[in-house]
Amino acid sequence: MKGIILAGGTGSRLFPITKVTSKQLLPIYNKPMIYYPLETLLKAGITDILIIVAPEHAGDFVNLLGSGKDFGARFFYEVQDKPEGLAQAFMLGEGFIEDDHVTMILGDNIFEDDFSEAIQTFESGARIFAKQVEDPHRFGVVHFSEDMVAEKIEEKPEHPESDYAVTGLYIYDSSVVEKAKALKPSARGEYEITDLNRLYLDDGTLDVAMVEGAWLDTGTFESMYEATEFVRSRELGIG
């Protein structure tokens, strides 16, 4: 199993502080944001990790993380010249993934859960993770049948049929590269991860697991504040 952390993009919702640095390098309490998704992968035993970064901040990531030696891992870097959707990560990472399974985590997502078992027991197809939220229209949304079998996935629907959001952790087999390359850009010009997941759903090889603990998507000032409060409380044993 290999790992990818997607840490490109402009962080436009966090302007002006992201005019001078990457969103994923901003602090969440006592660590840079990217440390949290990195720890999720390392905890699951993933030691070969590709970090996808924006060109203007590539050097900052290398300065912070280095070769991976300090983390007991090997880090590889790929520059994303232009962010064109989450599924683009698998096209950029084709040479890195080769014939292996791959777990991708978004560089601005913080999870309380330990996903070691879910990652280590993965065999084929795709496994994604859903969480009930109050604002599902902000995310990809998965709709389940009465017996909790995934039936449909929509990208940021205006009127969601479900309150289960697809979180920023995804596990795929090596066929993900060819599937991603077969995608067409959406109306907003992006290679959508939802379209990629639909291919697995249509094949009958998509497994949807539940996130039990906290999930923090730290892409806004409010969510960054909430994440800092959550991490601080956990670190200090408050609450």
Q: What are the distances in angstroms from CA 206 to CA 52, 117, 153, 184, 209?
A: 25, 17, 11, 20, 10
As a whole number of angstroms, the distance between CA 224 and CA 141 comes to 22
pLDDT for the residue numbered 121: 95
pLDDT for the residue numbered 19: 84
Q: Six-digit token pair at 43?
A: 């905890």
Determine how many CB atoms are found less than 10 A away from the CB of residue 148. Answer: 10
pLDDT for the residue numbered 201: 94
pLDDT for the residue numbered 97: 97
| Triad 168, 172, 177: Cα angle to 5° | 105
Judged against a pLDDT cut of 80, whether residue 17 lies above it is answered with: yes
pTM of the predicted structure, to 2 decimals = 0.94
**In whole angstroms, how large is the CA radius of gyration of the chain?**
17
Q: Six-digit token pair at 56?
A: 């203007």
Question: What would the DSSP string read from start to end of 145-211?
Answer: -TTS-EEEEEES-SS-S-SEEEEEEEEE-TTHHHHHHT----TTS---HHHHHHHHHHHT-EEEEEP
pLDDT for the residue numbered 146: 80
Find out whether 142 and 206 touch, Cβ atoms under 8 Å.
Answer: no
pLDDT for the residue numbered 188: 86
pLDDT for the residue numbered 219: 82
CA 189 to chain centre: 19
Mean predicted confidence (pLDDT) in 200-205: 94
The domain limits of the chain are 2-236
Strands 215-217 and 109-111: antiparallel
What CATH class is the domain 2-236? alpha beta
Confidence category of residue 239, pLDDT binned at 50, 70, 90: low
Helix H or strand E encompassing 130:
strand 126-132
- Residues 6 or more apart from 239 whose CB is under 8 A from it? 233
Q: Give the model confidence (pLDDT) of 111-151 as tens digits.
A: 999 999 999 999 999 999 999 998 888 888 998 888 888 88
Judged against a pLDDT cut of 90, whether residue 78 lies above it is answered with: yes
pLDDT for the residue numbered 157: 86
Q: Six-digit token pair at 21?
A: 């640095």
Confidence category of residue 89, pLDDT binned at 50, 70, 90: very high
Find out whether 88 and 80 touch, Cβ atoms under 8 Å.
Answer: yes
Find out whether 215 and 37 touch, Cβ atoms under 8 Å.
Answer: no
